[in-house]
Every structure is written in structure tokens, then in C-alpha cells.
Structure 1
Amino acid sequence: MDFSKDDVCVLIPTLNEKATIGSVIEELQAEGYHQILVVDGHSTDGTPEIAEKLGATVMTQKGKGKGAAMIEAFETITAPYILMLDGDGTNPPEYADAMMEPLVRGRADHVIGNRLNQYERGALTRLNLWGNRLMNTLFKWAHGVYMTDILSGYRAFTLDSVRQMNLKEAGFEIETEISSAVIHRGLRFEVVPTYYKKRPGSPTKLHPIRDGYKILRAINKYGKMNNPLFHFSVIGVLMGIAGFCLGLYVLFEWLAGIEHLFMGILTMLLIITGILTFMIGFISDMILGYHRELMREMRILRTKLEEIEKNE
């Protein structure tokens, strides 16, 4: 590729990755990437020392969690491009050029490395695959866009796109927030096929139940902002169906000579609230569409102003 790899900061969040961090850094350097930033979450196994010895810049994070490490790193990085991968050896550095290609060619602002189609035997269990595919499907329903692998830790960014994301999540739900921010900000993204290797070091730090719940909560939380029509229409339709079913019961009972005054009132409340909730989603979707169009026009205007400044 016709670009300087010195313009890329490789970001590696770590926590007790002694068994793999050395090989990850060496492989990146062999690929020509020498600006490597390791953000360590207070490892106790010597991970930071290994990284420093190999020439990487090491920063100890102040907060706790992968998301917190990434957010702290983004605040310090000044390189125009950022490549992020895990320090556990699961993301092969030989895919680094493929990950960077859409960014340097100007086709995308964000790149996601898809792990789910090619992976080493034993790297992903059936539960892992089922969980990832479920999360991707739910994300599509909530946001209206299918991003293939929203939980991938192998990603690439332009610095400008990172500055627009305004990230806040401290834990593993950070990937979900990033994917949501890409849609919300109207950023261009591409999905690049990669390979997922079996974790040779310490066991995974992802707790399937606790972190799975947090990711589901994040999908719902950010889905309301990116696709309000879907979110509110589902609630509205469910309430309307409940009211309709309850209304049928009240009607049949009334025809049999039995009155249910409070059930009748509840029926009307459910139906009216369902209609109002659907209308809220419809109006919110219109406002969001206007906001996205305004942001698009602002980006075009900013690009034109930058071109004028360069020509001057």
C-alpha cells in the first residue's frame, strides 16, 4: 500500500498477556508497524516489561476495563490512523495491511475484522458462535444495519472518526458502543475477513452471562438513538396487541352479561398508549433523519473548507 506505516498507531489493550504479547509485538514489527501503544490494565505477570523491552510504548490505564483502556488511549493518540487488536494472540498481525487498506484508500472511516467465518479449531465454541450471531442479529434489528461481527476486537479507525464517537463504556460493551456510534454519526465502514486463532495464553476474561447482559443492554440503549422507529414501534405494537386481546375478552364477557369496568379502562389505556408510543417512534425517526442529513451537509462543508485551506 502507498502510505507510511509510521502514520499508524497500533493500540493493544492488555491484562496479564505474558504468554502472547511478545509474539504479537514482534509480528507487528515484522509487518512494518513500529508505533505500538500497549495500554495495560495493571498486569501482574510482567506484560508491561516485555512490551517495553521490545520497543513498544506502555501506558498503564487509570480506570478498569477494556473500554476504559481504549478511551484513555484515544485521548493521547495523535497518529492519523489507529489499528486495534487484542494482545492475547487471537488476532493475527498479518491481516494488518488488509485492515488498513479501506482507510488509506479513503473508502471507510472504520474497519471491522470479521472473525466468524474463518477461525482455528477450538477458538470459538458453539456457544461462542451462537452468542455472537445472536448479538449481531439483535444489533441489526435494533439499529437497522448488519455489521457482521460487532464484538470483534480487531478494528481500524481514522483519528477523525474516533474523535466523533464520544465513547463512554468501560467494559467489553465498548465494541457495541463503537458499532452504534459508527451508525449514529453516519461514518463509512467496511468489514474485512480475518482469521481468529485459539487463545494460547491465559483464559478469556469475558464472562458469558455478566458481560452478555451488559452487551444486550448496550444494544438496546444505543438502538433507541439509532433506530427509534423500530424500538418504539415494537413496544407500541406489543401494547396494542395486549389491549386488543384484553378487549376481546371484555367484549365476550359483556355479551354474556358480565361487565368488567376496570378491564375495559385498562384496554383503552393499552391501545391508546400503544398508538402514542408508535407515534413517538415515528416522530423520533423523522427528527433523526433530519439530524443525519444536517450532519452529512456539515461534513461536506467541512471537507470543502479544508480543500480551500489547502489550496491557499
Structure 2
Amino acid sequence: MDIEKDQVCVLIPTLNEEPTIGGLIHRFFELGYSDILVIDGKSSDKTREIATTAGARVVVQTGKGKGNAFIQALSVLEKPYILLLDGDGTYDPEDAVLLLKPLLMGHDQSIGNRLVQDNYSSFHRLNLTGNRILNWLFKVAHGRYLYDILSGYRAFTLSSLKRMHLYEEGFGIETEISSEAVKNKDRIAVIPVKYGVRVGTVTKLDPIHDGIKIGRTIYRLAKLNNPIFYFGLIGAVITMSGVVMGLYIISEWFKKIDHIPLTILSMMLVIAGLQIFMFGIQSDMLLAYQREMLHEIQNLREEVGATNKSLNE
């Protein structure tokens, strides 16, 4: 059994996708999807005109960046299921049903996993390696391996999106979505999908620059999901700096050379690092308590809702 396609909104953020957007929209219509929403980031080509002619709803983005487009779209989404994909033609519309099906089985989100062997030829070696490193970093920072956190092909329930607090303006939006899903304990399905070579448009992603930004985003978001990792790493760096400095001081002491100011600094660094690490442990305990309280509140809401429903019947 599949989700009824008129219950799905196909959401496509675009920026100068003139060569591919028309064919992509037509293909979704052919597959039976009736609600296609294009959020356009002020394209300088004919993307908006082509999308409108093809029959999609087109909204001009007020801000800049893919993240801003997605966040803006949240205010106009009404269908219970949302399918998100890029407008560059790299994703296959026929895979949509594979992503949507887990939502009918109780999942909150599906991620289209591009990083399967059949798709390796569509990646530059640097991009493939970078994706693997960022997936591993996400697992270390957030405690869950999602195989392809940067995938632009996803399906959501509207209720899961409403629970998210999203602020990332650019390509970090996929990372933030993944982080929010883990934080909210969403049920996530990872589905292998086809991924093709970009045709007719130039990639907007700089592997080095954007990869570093995404890595920073993963680490920054860990402050709310895994504070012991976030603060622990800071504490470990500061503590190790103090220890290394202390070893230098000891080696100099054997040479009858005293470094009193450095000794004081070394001790201060070790103490500060340990304090930051302890703060991370305390934050982790508070986060666990907060999550337990939210879980109890959610259970209480569900019980009250079920009681009210039975009374109304």
C-alpha cells in the first residue's frame, strides 16, 4: 500500500535550474503528483517561467540560500507528506514512492542514500571522500549514523517538520534537519536511491569551503544533542595544551631552568580544561533529564487526546 499522491507536496528549491526544472516537474505530474511547490532563490535565468508554465506553484524566495528556501516553505506547507529534492535533475522522481512508503509505516522521515556503489561514478573522488568523513563526524557528534546526511532527496511527515527548529541559511540545512531529527528521536528510514550526473548546470557547492562549513555546523549543533562531546572536545584541547606545556617545563627544570609564569599558565590550562569537561558532563545530565520530561509530557498529551476522542465519540 502506498501513500495517496494527492496527499504529497513535492518541494523543489531552485536557483538557475533552467535546463532541468521543466522536465522534472512534468515527470512528477506524469507519476500522479498534483502539488509541486518550487521555492526559487531569485534565479537569473528562466527557471521561474518554465516552472510556472509546467504547472508548479512558484514562490520567490525572500532570503538567500537553500536553507532559507526550505524554512520559508515550511510556512506554506499543508499536505501531510512532503517530498524534498533538488531541481538539478540528479534525483530520479520514480524513487519518490520508495521514500514515501516508510512514512505510511510509521516513520517520520526518509533519507535518500546516494552513497551506494551504483552511484559512485556520479561523484568526484573528493566529494565521495568528503561525504564519508562528514557522515562519520556526524555519528561521533550526534550518536547516530545516517549514511548520507547531505542527501537532498528526503520525505517527511508534516508533523515531524513542525517539531524542528531550523535556522541554517545555506547548504548546512540538510545537516540541521538530520540533527533535529536525531534530537527529536524521529524514526528515520534510509533508502538507497539513484543519483545521476548534473547536466546543464554548474554545481553551487564548493567541496572544500562548504565541506568545512558543514563540518563546523555538525560540531556546533552537537552542543544541543551531545554536550559532553561538544564541551569535552574543547576541554580536552585546553587540557592537552596545559599538559604539553607542563612537559616542556619539566624538561627545562631538569636543565636547571625555571619557568614560573609558564608553570602557572600550564596549571591554569589543565584546571580550566577539566572544568569545561565537567561542565559538559553536567550539561549531558541536564539534557537527559529534559528529554525525559519532554517524553513524559508527550505521553500525557497523547493520553489526554485519546481520552477526549473517546469522550467525543
Q: TM-score, normalised to structure 1's length? A: 0.94
Shift of the alpha carbon at 1:119? 4.7
The aligned residue for residue 204 of structure 2 is 205
Matches of 2:253 and 2:45, distance apart in 1 = 73
Task: Check the 8 A contact 1:118/1:194 in 2, yes or no.
Answer: no
Matches of 2:225 and 2:179, distance apart in 1 = 7
Matches of 1:288 and 1:183, distance apart in 2 = 14
The aligned residue for residue 19 of structure 1 is 19
The one-letter amino acid of 1:125's match is H
Correspondences of 1:1-80 after superposition (within 5 Å): 1-80=1-80
Matches of 1:79 and 1:169, distance apart in 2 = 23
Correspondences of 1:90-239 after superposition (within 5 Å): 90-106=90-106, 108-120=107-119, 122-239=121-238
Task: Check the 8 A contact 1:186/1:296 in 2, yes or no.
Answer: no
Matches of 1:209 and 1:255, distance apart in 2 = 45
The aligned residue for residue 239 of structure 2 is 240
Correspondences of 1:218-297 after superposition (within 5 Å): 218-297=217-296
Matches of 1:95 and 1:123, distance apart in 2 = 17
Matches of 1:244 and 1:210, distance apart in 2 = 33
Matches of 2:175 and 2:212, distance apart in 1 = 12
Describe the SS at the equivalent of 2:264. helix
Matches of 1:310 and 1:85, distance apart in 2 = 37
Matches of 1:121 and 1:273, distance apart in 2 = 46
Task: Check the 8 A contact 1:11/1:85 in 2, yes or no.
Answer: yes
Shift of the alpha carbon at 1:272? 0.6
Q: Output one character per residue of 1:247-281: Cα deviation in whole Å (capped at 9) or x when no partner.
A: 23323433443221111101211111111011011
Matches of 1:209 and 1:252, distance apart in 2 = 40
Matches of 1:297 and 1:139, distance apart in 2 = 28
Equivalences, count: 311
**Larger mean Cα displacement after TM superposition, 181-190 or 268-277:** 181-190
Shift of the alpha carbon at 1:39? 0.9
The answer for unaligned runs of 5 or more in structure 2 is: none
Q: TM-score, normalised to structure 2's length? A: 0.94
The answer for unaligned runs of 5 or more in structure 1 is: none
Task: Check the 8 A contact 1:61/1:72 in 2, yes or no.
Answer: yes
Describe the SS at the equivalent of 1:10. strand
Matches of 1:33 and 1:178, distance apart in 2 = 24
The one-letter amino acid of 1:302's match is R
Aligned in 2, Cα 1:221/1:113: closer, same or farther, shift over 3 Å? same
Task: Check the 8 A contact 1:40/1:61 in 2, yes or no.
Answer: yes
Matches of 2:297 and 2:118, distance apart in 1 = 41
Shift of the alpha carbon at 1:302? 2.5
Shift of the alpha carbon at 1:245? 2.9
Q: Output one character per residue of 1:34-83: Cα deviation in whole Å (capped at 9) or x when no partner.
A: 11111111223222222222221111111111111111111111111111
The one-letter amino acid of 1:160's match is S
The one-letter amino acid of 2:149's match is I
Matches of 1:57 and 1:303, distance apart in 2 = 35
Aligned in 2, Cα 1:248/1:113: closer, same or farther, shift over 3 Å? same
The one-letter amino acid of 1:133's match is R
Matches of 2:36 and 2:305, distance apart in 1 = 29
Aligned in 2, Cα 1:121/1:273: closer, same or farther, shift over 3 Å? closer
The aligned residue for residue 87 of structure 1 is 87
- Measured on the aligned residues, the alpha-carbon RMSD in Å equals 1.7
Task: Check the 8 A contact 1:239/1:273 in 2, yes or no.
Answer: yes
Shift of the alpha carbon at 1:243? 2.1
Task: Check the 8 A contact 1:21/1:87 in 2, yes or no.
Answer: yes
Matches of 1:71 and 1:288, distance apart in 2 = 26
Describe the SS at the equivalent of 1:87. coil
Matches of 2:245 and 2:208, distance apart in 1 = 35
